[in-house]
Chain A
Amino acid sequence: MTTAPTQELLKERLAPAASEVSTAHGVLVIALPAASLLEVVQKLRTEFLFDLFLDVTAVDWLGQTPRFEVVHHFYSTHHHLRVRLKTRVTEQDPTVDSLVSLYGSARFMERECHDMYGIAFRGNPDLRPILLYEGFEGHPLRKDYPKEREQPLVPYRK
């Protein structure tokens, strides 16, 4: 039974991969560069028993570089704690490592993030559109996609 992860313990064990560890509204937040994502997640899983992968999503900061912030959430069923991982990727190369090798639930969630924002997950063999359909162009949750632009599959009646 490992010890419960606190902010200090995480900072100590995960450095230098993690650039900063903080707490926000009851959740531990780790900011890290995209290259060290897989390594940090592996450590979180084996050492600190964050066994439930909750969510991966992205935030579009249009106008800032790097533009996208990919956010992962994990939960430990042993310590009842949550942790958030934040990493930034650029618009030209929005690629992040995939977590399918560690968590099965990553498959669908990464597909959704790719669908909505265009974040490519290196290592995920199946990045077909999941919430959108074949033939949809663009990534609708990006801030520069207009909300009302429809791409109908079936021609409208007169």
Chain B
Amino acid sequence: MPPLDIKLPNPVRSAFESPLRDDTVTVNIGPSHPATHGTVQIIAELDGERVLRTDVHCGYLHRGFEKECESHTWHNLIPYVDRLNYVSALINDFAYCEAVEKLMGIEITPRCRYLRTLLSEYSRVVDHLTCIAAGLMELGAMTAFLYLVMVRDYMYEHLADLTGARVTYTYGRIGGLARELPDGWLGRLGDILDKYEVFVARVHGLMDRNRIFIDRMRNVGVISTADAINWGYTGPILRSTGAPRDLRRDTPYLAYAELDFEVSVGINGDNYDRYYVRMREMDESVHMIRQLTDALPDGPINVDDRRCTFPEKHLVYTEIESLINHFKLVMDGPQVPAGDVYSAHESPNGELGFYIVSTGEGIPHKVHARAPSFVHMGGVHKMLDGYQLADIVPTFGSVNMIGGECDR
């Protein structure tokens, strides 16, 4: 190919008009960088190896989620919702479905409630595994990465048995779930959780008391509770500062009020605390999954409400009312009454909220996702400034910025 004869435009404008001092260097990290977890650009001004100030640019994965949602029916946009926080896709599904169900005034069946809780916790484990595995790999601990990704792979295959896909499932439906659990799914779940415990014990043994790991992560990327709340942090990052704020405990939703679990908190708000809070949260999630598996009630998955639930196929082929109902649901979408609602779930990154506005049609007027990663990006400079350049990598890894959620 002949050399490029156009000047490539710069899609961002830096906040730093001029350097602070004469002897500082401004360095551009990203947006195509192994450790920026996707596409984030950090323009850092350095004094030697020490970071003086950073300017974080996200938006390189802005895929027009809200605009797409405004031209699809309430059901058809569930795949878009999935791909927000793509490491824990089921939680996005259920948070969105719950928002629409609130607006429609639907109450889901007990079995669906328990299953959604179980799958939310399962997705939380998958997310934390990915975050910790990627973070450890960037520090050089390749073995821990391989162990954790092995467990994650078992979970992906297991979820593929249930939903048909490994990473982004589109399993939630308004009023219920897509399909019932296959036979033997819960038994295999027990096996996977046992394997999880074996692998995570190994990672604990490799990492927790490792001198190098502690030196790199302790007292690095520290943020105080007041700063965290001011800059909008929720989720494991806020909990690592010592504040026991968890939506599952504070404003229980789904089946969390009936479960027995602890909210893990950290001490300093540094990288090591965030790592450990996530490891403990995974253990708590596994404990919750075991409780839910024992207490899972029987019954239907989908609520029996013809405004949103598709009728049985054999009825669609024989009765005219079911045929018309099915047709209307597919072509026009479920008719959601006019109004607006904000409904939030505790995603592995923090508070994932959906603000949806309906004008009474089958197509939403607005679907806005309150993405925790986006808000966290606004405050991440508090954790990066003042530390070394090499600390940007583990700190950024511990924030767990997911591009699909941050940029929507």
Contacts and interface: CB of A to CB of B under 8 A. Distances in A.
Q: Do chains A and B touch in the complex (CB under 8 A)?
A: yes
Nearest to A54: B370
29 contacts: A24-B339, A25-B343, A52-B229, A52-B234, A54-B232, A55-B353, A55-B355, A75-B351, A84-B342, A103-B231, A103-B232, A104-B231, A104-B232, A105-B231, A108-B378, A109-B232, A109-B374, A129-B59, A131-B58, A131-B59, A131-B407, A133-B12, A133-B59, A141-B67, A147-B64, A147-B70, A147-B71, A154-B9, A155-B6
A44 to B, nearest CB: 14
B143 interface: no
Contact of B13 (A57, A108, A128): A128
A112 B344 CA distance: 20
Interface string B368-380: 1010001101110
Interface stretch (B74-82, B134-142, B151-159, B243-251): B243-251
B66 A108 contact: no
B15 interface: yes
B365 A128 contact: no
B317 to A, nearest CB: 36
A126 interface: yes
Contacts of A59: 340, 357, 365-366
B102 interface: yes
Interface in B329-363: 339-344, 351, 353, 355, 357
B11 A134 contact: yes
Q: Which 10 A-B pairs have the closest CB atoms?
A: A105-B232, A108-B378, A133-B11, A131-B59, A131-B62, A104-B231, A55-B370, A80-B250, A25-B341, A104-B230
Nearest to A57: B368
A54 to B, nearest CB: 6
A140 B66 CA distance: 10
Contact of B230 (A84, A103, A131): A103
A97 interface: no
Given A104-B232, A131-B59, A116 B365 contact: no
B368 A55 contact: yes
Given A128-B15, A140-B64, A153 B232 contact: no
Nearest to A130: B59
A121 B66 CA distance: 21
Contacts, number: 118
A67 interface: no
B265 to A, nearest CB: 13
A57 B375 contact: no
Interface of B is mostly: mixed
B68 A147 contact: yes
A73 interface: yes
Interface string B10-32: 11110100000000000000000
A51 interface: yes
Interface string B300-344: 000000000000000000000000000000000000000111111
Interface of A: 24-27, 51-55, 57, 59-60, 71, 73, 75, 77, 80, 82, 84, 103-105, 107-109, 112, 116, 126, 128-135, 140-141, 147, 153-155
Interface in B220-261: 227, 229-232, 234, 243, 245, 250-251
A155 B229 CA distance: 44
B9 A108 contact: no
A59 to B, nearest CB: 5
B15 A108 contact: no
B103 interface: yes
A141 to B, nearest CB: 6
A132 B243 CA distance: 34
B59 A25 contact: no
B146 to A, nearest CB: 35
B102 A25 contact: yes
A54 B352 CA distance: 10
A27 B343 CA distance: 9
A55 to B, nearest CB: 4
Given A75-B351, A84-B342, A108 B71 contact: no
B355 A105 contact: no
B83 interface: no
Nearest to B231: A104
Contacts of A105: 230-232, 375, 378-379
Given A75-B351, A105-B230, A105-B378, A153 B243 contact: no
A82 B102 CA distance: 16
Nearest to B225: A77
Nearest to A155: B6
Residue among B67, B245, B365 with max Cβ neighbours from chain A (10 Å) = B67
